[in-house]
Amino acid sequence: MIDPIERIDLFPLRIKLKRPFVISLGRVDYAENVVVKIETRSGLTGFGECCPFQTINGESMETALVVGRYLKDKLINLDPLDIEACIGRMDSIIYGNSSIKSAFDIALHDIAARSAGLPLFAFLGGKLKKTLITDYTVSFGNPEAMVAEALEIMNQGYPAIKIKVGGTLQEDLCRVREIRKAIRPDIPLRLDANQGWSLETAIGVLSELDGMNIEFCEEPIPRWDFMNLAKVRKASPVPIMADESCGDHHDLERMIALGACDYVNIKLGKSGGLYKALKMIRLAEQFEMRVQIGGFVESRLGFTASAHLALSSGCVSWCDFDTPLMLEEDPVIGGIRYGFGGVVEVPEGIGLGAGIEGKSLTKSPKGIRG
């Protein structure tokens, strides 16, 4: 045990997007995130970040700050290296709230990796032996605007393009077909319906897309209708990736038992952090399931944690790390860096390797300090 947790601060982090980001669940104009900073008695510090997403995990920046107060008060004086006990304490205090819990979890892992003198990916059991490459997402809209955005993405060298869908059958077929015609055929497309289709519409759209170099479709039907996801998978020539319906390892166990999906999208804000995300990865390894590591609208701080996780296992086949590139401001010190064509460079120093500029954290009066 190192020195116990002495101080926990929570700060709101609100950053405007360069242009609105639209999915079937609604429009996003600002990243409204929460940063958690944990300090031990000897001054060892860890950072974490979450992006509460109201329509997916039922949290907002405001509710995350309130729940964060409950959590921080119960973690003071605990051993930061006993991550399992800290996660158990948070889960015993309040059900759900996976987003804000993930920010605490990332900060705890930052401290643990720093204490071990290891980069976070090494602390998680990974190696810096593969190149991480992110796709880039076309926002939901009319076909002409989506084609124009897809062409921009192609010209920036991204090796894969993600398309937000979730409208009517004919509208979405038009969106996909027009983008496919405009984009080089060797560039794969990835679809994300964000629960926007009915069972019938999902099968109707996906059955028309064979031979169009589409890698997968994320969450085609509502999360509550997961019992029917296997029907979509059986009827679809496009592989199915579970997202909103699969938050943690318990959810993944159920999805595997149902034969509901080919792949799974792991997000720290859904799993509750790295501790449970690693349990999901171990399950995926056991069942030889390929994994995407994604996120919400976190800054480079949150996605740095996701990138470390992506290096922890060979079953991680895809990265969806594009949203920090959509933000007007970048307050992060250190962290992942983006190269041409979506290449993501992961910091090799000890711990998470990322933090937030002090002025970005102190300018808001709504933070919770100490």
243 given a catalytic annotation = yes
Average pLDDT, integer, range 24-53? 95
Range(s) of the chain covered by CATH 3.30.390.10? 5-117+355-362
Residue from 72, 101, 162, 164 carrying the catalytic annotation? 164
Q: What backbone phi and psi angles, to 5 degrees, belong to 60?
A: -130, 170
Q: How confident is the model at residue 218 (pLDDT cuts 50, 70, 90)?
A: very high
Which distant-in-sequence residues (6+ apart) come within 8 Å of 240 by Cβ? 216, 217, 220, 229, 232, 233, 260, 261, 262, 263
Q: What does the pLDDT read at residue 328?
A: 97
**pLDDT for the residue numbered 80:** 97
pLDDT digits (tens, 9 = 90+) for 282-327: 999 999 999 999 999 999 999 999 999 999 999 999 999 999 999 9
Catalytic residue among 149, 243, 244, 322: 243
Structure tokens at 296: 């919400």
Pairing assessment for the beta strands 161-164 and 189-192 based on DSSP bridges: parallel
Q: What is the pLDDT, as a whole number, of residue 23? A: 87
User: What per-residue confidence (pLDDT) applies to 363?
Assistant: 52
Q: What is the pLDDT of residues 133-190, one digit of tens each?
A: 999 999 999 999 999 999 999 999 999 999 999 999 999 999 999 999 999 999 999 9
The active-site residue out of 218, 219, 298, 320 is 218
Name the strands in the sheet holding 5-23, side by side, starting at the edge strand that comes first in the sequence.
Answer: 5-23, 26-40, 45-50
In Å, how far are 139, 257, 294, 299, 327 from 27, measured between CA atoms?
9, 34, 19, 18, 15
Nearest to 87 by CA among 103, 69, 105: 105
Whether residue 364 is predicted with pLDDT greater than 60 in this model: the reply is: no
Which of these is catalytic: 32, 149, 192, 219?
192
Q: How high is the pLDDT of residue 26?
A: 86
Q: What Å distances lie between residue 329 and 25, 31, 114, CA to CA? A: 25, 10, 27
Q: Name the percent of the chain lying above pLDDT 90.
A: 92
pLDDT of residue 360: 60
pLDDT of residue 343: 98
Which H/E stretch holds residue 275?
A: helix 274-286
Catalytic annotation on 164? yes
Please write the tens of the pLDDT for every residue from 238-251: 999 999 999 999 99
At residue 73 the predicted structure's pLDDT band, cuts being 50, 70 and 90, is: very high
How far apart are alpha carbons 29 and 345 in whole angstroms? 27
Q: Contact 281/306 with Cβ under 8 angstroms?
A: no
Does pLDDT of 366 surpass 70?
A: no
d(C-alpha 230, C-alpha 259), whole Å: 6
pLDDT at residue 192 greater than cutoff 60: yes
3-state secondary structure of 36: strand
Q: Please, are residues 123 and 348 in contact by the beta-carbon 8 Å criterion?
A: no
User: Per-residue DSSP letters for 108-134?
Assistant: HHHHHHHHHTSBHHHHTT--S-S-EEB
CA atoms within 13 A on the CB side of 228: 15
What's the CATH superfamily of 5-117+355-362?
Enolase-like, N-terminal domain (3.30.390.10)
Question: Which of 307, 319, 318, 317 is CA-nearest to residue 352?
Answer: 307
Q: What is the pLDDT of residues 39-60, one digit of tens each?
A: 999 999 999 999 999 999 999 9
In percent, how much of the chain has pLDDT > 70?
96
Q: Which CATH class is domain 122-352?
A: alpha beta
Query: Is 162 annotated in the active site?
Result: no
Every domain range in the chain assigned CATH 3.20.20.120: 122-352
Of 19-33, 107-121, 214-228, 275-289, minimum mean pLDDT range:
19-33
Asked whether residue 359 carries a pLDDT value surpassing 70, the answer given is: no
CA pair distance 135, 368, nearest whole angstrom: 35
Taking 60 as the threshold, does the pLDDT of residue 362 lie above it?
no
Q: Is 359 a catalytic residue?
A: no
Mean pLDDT of 210-226: 97
DSSP-derived secondary structure letter, 74: H
Q: What is the pLDDT of residue 290?
A: 98
